Chains A and B, each alone.
Chain A
């Protein structure tokens, strides 16, 4: 059961990375060509700036989900160095389940935001509705919720296994 989850997490991780590389390359390319066009040809892509902002939003938030996968979110780690290995595992389980809950609330809030944007019928650029470019927000939070839940389960199962072995 866990193996399958592990594989799903890995596949999603690889997709995220591929998407991230594509979007960041596009970001550099579009932002740079805008400058060239503006300064040397005194023109520019009309929707270029909006696209660049959208790309920043996407690369940033995809980076945040990968940070959740790799445990690289910024945190203040004061106590953990004085905890025993067992205490550390216990703390990790609590933190994961708490992070899972908060990410669920954030997903809910982001979905409500998207719902409102959908009703406002705003346009981001090139006829693309705003809510499409903003969909990355609920996507990010739900994916992080999934990850924290998965790490929580993994932590609990590992502790259980250890107890049984004893």
Chain B
């Protein structure tokens, strides 16, 4: 009875805006206390998690991402893709899709993309005669597009929490990620023809100039992905190379970032890392307790009694995860929900890598779903538009992404094709 009151009070505090790690820690401490387990058990979990070898990748990739978003890289990336794809019908919107996806994959932090790219892409789309609502919807939903591509931060965190091999998860995300982008690109293509967006010609010298302009950043995806898939180095090493390389290129070669800006960028990126790390630590303490208390097994028994087919289970999972992604946000959802769901899903015979991709695709779309999806709020602030207009603007895009989600969920082949 007291426990229920405590949980209710914690829930209220969480909705009032208490830091999530405080709420989770509070709950864990309560449970440990009522189970007469020493509270340092939670700290042991936290410490074990914070010193996992793969975790090294998180601060390094995040710092590199902050450097890139602050530099002229977004501008150069947009210029290059404009030179290559600008002549297509719907070219500008496809550029927006592609560059957002690449950028989110590299920086991994949702929200950074809308802030860094939106400032250039939104005016570019309006200038290209795209309707305002269409442009807003596209940029809002594209903010998390690309989370399925390596080396995005949520993929790494999922691998840590669910104990899946990270290189397999990286391979699994590629086709589903491409599918989502293709579906949206098709929609953009249709829209551009319907509203008769003017087209620009293909300009060969401009392609060369744009390539030359971004010649130092182009090797980055090749080195990171080629290095990981080619087996030359592991993910944490790729992160170290990325951080060192981006630092040298942006500070010494392009000189986009001044020396005196570095401490601020280091601080900003590590504030994000610290916020994620501490939730991850607190959540692991909680979920370990819940797993010891056999919560997943009891959930499974309950579900098995009512839901026989894996198909039905996946539908339930989709609705559940979309809601979680919309309400809780990416990182809290990953840390708290994943360890509790994975044993249940495995009992239904769902492949761990496929499950990971389902999780991330759901959370990625959930982040744009009204009323609480974080992307909507970031866009509202970034483009200075009322939140309600963003709700309507993003609806058609969400509809298309949901179709993609259904395909990803019920066609495991997409996620597993590269594994065997």
Contact = CB atoms under 8 A, between A and B. Distances in A.
Contacts of A32: 240-241, 243-244
A126 B239 CA distance: 25
Contact of B51 (A53, A70, A74, A80): A53
A103 B278 CA distance: 12
Interface stretch (B136-144, B162-170, B266-274, B293-301): B266-274
B60 A76 contact: no
Given A63-B271, A63-B274, 13 more contacts: A17-B267, A28-B240, A32-B240, A61-B50, A63-B267, A63-B270, A64-B274, A75-B14, A77-B17, A102-B26, A105-B39, A109-B29, A134-B47
Contacts of B332: 74, 76
B59 A98 contact: no
The range of chain B's interface size is: 35 or more
A53 to B, nearest CB: 5
Counting from the closest, the 10 A-B pairs by CB-CB distance are: A63-B274, A64-B274, A63-B270, A73-B19, A31-B240, A109-B39, A60-B277, A113-B43, A32-B244, A112-B40
Given A35-B241, A94-B13, A102 B22 contact: yes
A53 B266 CA distance: 18
Contact of B262 (A21, A49, A108): A21
Given A35-B237, A79-B15, A61 B39 contact: no
Q: Is the interface of B mostly helix, strand, loop or mixed?
A: helix
Contacts of A21: 262-263, 266-267
Interface string A42-70: 00000001001110110111111111101
Interface string B105-133: 00000000000000000000000000000
A67 B327 contact: no
Nearest to A31: B240
Interface of B: 13-22, 25-26, 29, 38-40, 42-44, 46-47, 50-51, 53, 55-56, 58-60, 63, 232-233, 236-237, 239-241, 243-244, 247, 262-263, 266-267, 270-279, 327-329, 331-332, 372
A95 interface: yes
A105 B247 CA distance: 40
Contacts of A76: 14-15, 17, 20, 327-329, 332
A156 interface: no
B55 A56 contact: yes
Contacts of A31: 56, 60, 236-237, 239-240, 243
Nearest to A50: B51
Contacts of A61: 50, 274, 277-278
Nearest to B237: A35
B339 to A, nearest CB: 18
A24 B273 CA distance: 12
A128 interface: no
Interface centre among B17, B29, B38 (most CB of A within 10 A): B17
A139 interface: no
Interface of A: 17, 20-21, 24-25, 27-28, 31-32, 34-35, 39, 49, 52-54, 56-57, 59-68, 70, 72-80, 91, 94-95, 98-99, 102-103, 105-106, 108-110, 112-113, 116, 134, 137
Interface centre among B239, B241, B266 (most CB of A within 10 A): B266
A5 to B, nearest CB: 21
B271 A60 contact: no
B141 to A, nearest CB: 21
B22 A98 contact: yes
Given A27-B59, A28-B247, A57-B51, A74 B263 contact: no
Contact of B42 (A56, A57, A109): A109
A63 B273 CA distance: 7
Contact of A59 (B44, B59, B275): B59
A80 B17 contact: yes
A65 B13 contact: no
Nearest to A115: B40
Nearest to B29: A105
B275 A72 contact: yes
Contacts of B239: 31
A68 to B, nearest CB: 8
B47 A99 contact: no
B8 to A, nearest CB: 14
Given A94-B16, A95-B16, A52 B56 contact: yes
A100 B20 CA distance: 14
Contacts of B277: 60-61, 63-64
A108 B53 CA distance: 27
A20 to B, nearest CB: 6
B15 A78 contact: yes
B243 A28 contact: yes
A75 B20 contact: yes
Contacts of A77: 17
A99 B50 contact: no
Interface centre among B39, B60, B270 (most CB of A within 10 A): B270
A45 B247 CA distance: 23
Nearest to B371: A78
A99 B17 CA distance: 11
A59 B267 CA distance: 10
A63 B50 CA distance: 13
Contact of A60 (B13, B20, B59, B327): B59
